[in-house]
């Protein structure tokens, strides 16, 4: 009985309290959700994807969360197999939406623009997906492609340790940078 009480205090109170205190002390931003602020207000998290449907923005990956897309409390994949009619329809609908947003773009569509991630909340797209959308965003915003390309480059995270994974772009950060750039050019 005494060991149960001791282990309850140790693992149920002391250890979690110590970890919470250490994370707040050394990793404050990450421990609080890696929030991104604009004008003192949180606009999102660097870790959770958001929906962007307006052609002036880079589109995110699809979300498979329920009951609503990009629902952080309902993180999950779709669990739909490659021959599932619902998945096939979802992919066709996304291809149609991408072609409608950029009718002149006949390049192959990167797979991450037509599928959801395992969590349904992925905040990043591949570098190929960002480059695929570059001309549309440049045209709609009236910005030179070179300028938008430099923004993509500035917001690209390379491979982990230089060898693991693929280069990726955080969609929220890139879209916020586009908005800031447009505001600077207007002033």
Phi, psi at 2, each rounded to 5°: -65, -40
CB environment 57-86: b (16+ within 10 A), e (fewer): bbbbbbbbbeeebbbeeebeebebeeeeee
User: What are the structure tokens assigned to 23, written together?
Assistant: 């994370």
Looking at the fold, whether 133 and 170 belong to one and the same domain comes out as yes
Looking at the fold, whether 52 and 113 belong to one and the same domain comes out as yes
Structurally, the chain folds into a number of domains equal to 2
Cα–Cα distance between 176 and 124 in angstroms, integer?
14
Looking at the fold, whether 76 and 162 belong to one and the same domain comes out as yes
Looking at the fold, whether 46 and 114 belong to one and the same domain comes out as yes
Looking at the fold, whether 95 and 106 belong to one and the same domain comes out as yes
Parent domain of 2 = 1-32
Looking at the fold, whether 43 and 23 belong to one and the same domain comes out as no
pTM beyond 0.75: yes
Classify residue 144 by its DSSP letter. -
Walk along the chain (187 residues) and give the pLDDT tens digit of each residue: 888 889 899 899 889 988 888 888 887 777 666 677 788 887 777 778 788 888 999 998 888 776 677 777 777 666 777 888 888 888 899 899 889 888 889 899 999 888 887 777 788 899 999 999 999 999 999 999 999 999 999 999 888 888 888 899 999 999 999 988 765 655 5
């Amino acid at each position: 009985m005494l060991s149960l009480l001791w282990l309850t205090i140790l693992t149920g109170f002391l250890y979690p309290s110590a970890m919470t205190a250490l994370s707040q002390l050394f990793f404050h931003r990450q421990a609080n959700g890696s929030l991104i602020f604009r004008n003192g207000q949180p606009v999102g998290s660097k870790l959770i994807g958001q929906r962007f449907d307006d052609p002036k923005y880079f589109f995110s990956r699809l979300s498979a969360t329920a009951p609503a897309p990009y629902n952080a409390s309902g993180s999950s994949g779709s669990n739909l197999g490659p021959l599932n009619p619902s998945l096939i329809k979802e992919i066709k609908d996304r291809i149609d939406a991408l072609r409608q947003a950029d009718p002149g773009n006949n390049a192959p569509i990167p797979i991450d623009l037509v599928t959801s991630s395992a969590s349904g909340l992925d905040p990043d797209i591949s570098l190929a997906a960002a480059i695929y959308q570059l001309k549309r965003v440049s045209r709609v915003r009236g910005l030179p492609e070179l300028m938008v390309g430099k923004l993509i480059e500035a917001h690209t995270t390379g491979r982990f340790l230089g060898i693991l994974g693929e280069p990726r772009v955080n969609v929220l950060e890139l879209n916020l940078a586009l908005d800031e750039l447009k505001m600077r050019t207007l002033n």
